[in-house]
Amino acid sequence: MIIKSVIIEDENFSLNRLKKLLSNFEYINIVGEASDGKNAINIIEEKKPDLIFLDINLPEYDGFEVLKSLSYEPYVIFVTAYQDYAIKAFEENAIDYLLKPFDLKRLKISVERAIDRIKEKSNISTKFVVKDRDIILLIPEEKVYYFKAEDKYVFLCTNNIEYYYDDTLKDLEEKLNPQTFIRIHKSYIVSINHIKKFKKLFAREYIIELDNGIELKIGRSYLNSIKEKFHF
C-alpha cells in the first residue's frame, strides 16, 4: 500500500526533519508540501493526498481553517509545538497529535494508526448503482475494471459488460477511493486491482493492460503521477 502524503509546515528545520524521518517508511509517498495556509489548500486540492501532516500555526490560514476550506476529508496527523489545540484537533477526527520534538518511534505509532484507518476505509465494500433497461443493478467495487467517458456519457466497465453510469469522471475522481482507483487519462479511471502491466510504446507513451486483456492509453499529463505512484 502506497500512502500519498502532503506536509504542511512553515519552519524549514521542522519540515526537513519530518521528511528525513518519513524516509524510513517506504510506503509513505510525499507528493507535495506547503509553508502557509493558502498554498496548503491549493496543494491538497491538487494532489488529493490520503494523509496530511499538518502544522497548526501557519501564515494566512491556520491548520483548522485549512481543513474547513477543503472539498474532501483526508486523514490528518497534526504536528505542532503547542499542547493547547489537542482537544480541538481530535474533534476534527485527527489520527494523531504529534508534539515537537518527537522521535522516530513516536512517529511510527502515528503512521501505523494512519495505515489502520486507511485500510479500514479500503475494506469497506462499495457498490455502484447502474440501470439495465428496467432493472437496477448493484455492481460491487471489485467487479469494476474501469470507468470511461465517450462523448458526453460515462460508462462503468466490468470484465465483459459496459453500463451507462450517471456521473462525470471529474466527480467520480473526487468520490472514488484513491487506494483503489486511479485516473490515467482524460477519458479513463482504472481499478488499480485489475492492472496487470504497463507497456512502454515510445519515449512518453505508455499503455496499461488490465487482467482481462483490455489495453488503455495513459494520458501524458497523468504519466508522471502514475510513475510516482508505481515507482517505474
What pLDDT, in 10s, does the model give residues 75-129?
999 999 988 888 888 888 899 999 999 999 999 999 999 988 887 766 555 789 9
Q: Which helix (H) or strand (E) holds 20?
A: helix 12-22
- 3-122 is a CATH 3.40.50.720 domain: no
Rounded average pLDDT over 39-59: 93
Using alpha carbons, select from 100, 116, 98 the residue that is nearest to residue 50. Answer: 116
Residues of the chain with CATH 3.40.50.2300: 3-122
Higher pLDDT: 53 or 173? It is 53
pLDDT band at 177 (very low <50, low <70, confident <90, very high): confident
What pLDDT does residue 33 have? 95
What pLDDT does residue 206 have? 94
Q: What is the mean pLDDT of the chain?
A: 91
Q: Which residue has the cell 497548526?
A: 56
What pLDDT does residue 163 have? 95
pLDDT band at 230 (very low <50, low <70, confident <90, very high): confident
- State what percent of residues in the chain have pLDDT above 70: 97
Dihedral of alpha carbons 198, 199, 200, 205, sign: negative
Q: What are phi and psi of 151, to 5 degrees?
A: 55, -120
**CATH value of 127-230 in 2.40.50.140, 2.30.30.140, 3.30.70.270, 2.40.50.1020:** 2.40.50.1020
Q: What is the pTM of this model?
A: 0.57
What pLDDT does residue 214 have? 97
Residues of the chain with CATH 2.40.50.1020: 127-230
